[in-house]
Amino acid sequence: MKRKEELKSYFTIIAYLVVGFIIMGVVQLLRRPDWMNSSFIILLLFVIVNIATANIFGLNNEIKIFWSLRKIIYLPIGFVIGGLIATTPVLIGLLTGLISKNELILNTAFTTSSILITLAIVAWEELWFRGIFLNHCHKNLSPIKISITIGLLFMLVHMLNPEMNLLKKGPTLFFAGAFLTIAYFYFRTIWLPIGLHFGNNYLSLQTKFENHWLFGNEGYLGAFILAGFFLVLVKLTINKTKRHEIKDVQPN
């Protein structure tokens, strides 16, 4: 019976992945003014889907906890950490002399519109892969199993891009998806993954080595850093689970 419930949870994850593709397909077909960026429409639809999901699965308490504005402090914290993760490989390249300061180019212009658009994009991506449906799946699957599953799916979705090199970029994409998901469960908030994702995307640095297998964007050094964060949170999650189990068996 347990195995059957687990399979249902895996099916739910895949089903919501498909829902995301449907949302993006529908928005592409909509007629909209030239000034209206499609990311805001997609974000609105994902918010609606998540609220509907909370009502269907009885997750209204979970959505109050994980979407609580009291935890919005995690947004700037995530922005800083995500930015450090994005820039660390390049900084190491500078320290080793492989990259010179003159070769650095900041990918993003700091404007209000660029901030809002990037924030909208990462927000709907987070509500797609770390939507409230994960809390329903958590009833039958551990956060670690869910994180590994989301990491694999996040990597596989990017394979739809014919120019994507799985061997070079696959590890980074997997650990990015897994790390953001385990962070979602451990800190019990959607704001931290959004901040991490936003900081990583917005503060990326461009060099002639951006496709370098080690120091480049989505290179192996970035994968190693993300893997380190993921494994730390896995360990902390296991410890937290053990503490709860001990507390549950202790006599009143």
pLDDT in tens, 37-55: 899 999 999 999 999 999 9
Q: Give the pLDDT confidence score for residue 174 in this predicted structure.
A: 96
Across the chain, which has 252 residues, the per-10-residue mean pLDDT values are: 90 96 93 82 97 96 97 97 88 74 63 89 97 97 97 92 81 96 98 96 66 68 93 96 72 56
What six digits make up the tokens of 219? 């290179």
Return the exposure string of 123-140: e unless at least 16 CB atoms fall within 10 Å of the residue's CB, then b: bbbbbbbbbbbbbbbbeb
**Cβ neighbours, 10 Å, residue 241:** 13
* pTM score of the predicted model: 0.90
- Measuring CA to CA, which residue among 207, 202, 143, 151 is closest to residue 175? 151
The number of angstroms, rounded, from the C-alpha of 128 to the middle of its chain's C-alpha atoms is 9
- Measuring CA to CA, which residue among 197, 205, 245 is closest to residue 80? 197
Distance separating alpha carbons of residues 53 and 19, to the nearest angstrom = 12
Q: Give the pLDDT confidence score for residue 100 in this predicted structure.
A: 66
Distance separating alpha carbons of residues 195 and 197, to the nearest angstrom = 5
**Contacting residues for 24 by C-beta, under 8 A, at least 6 apart:** 42
What six digits make up the tokens of 33? 């003014």
Q: Give the pLDDT confidence score for residue 233 in this predicted structure.
A: 98
Collapsing DSSP to helix, strand or coil, 105 comes out as strand
- Phi, psi dihedral angles at 210 (to 5 degrees): -65, -20
Q: Give the pLDDT confidence score for residue 108 in this predicted structure.
A: 58
What is each CA distance from 36 to 32, 110, 111, 198, in whole angstroms? 7, 20, 17, 21
Q: Give the pLDDT confidence score for residue 175 in this predicted structure.
A: 96
Q: Give the pLDDT confidence score for residue 249 in this predicted structure.
A: 59
Q: Give the pLDDT confidence score for residue 116 in this predicted structure.
A: 92
Distance separating alpha carbons of residues 149 and 1, to the nearest angstrom = 21
Q: What is the DSSP letter of 28?
A: H
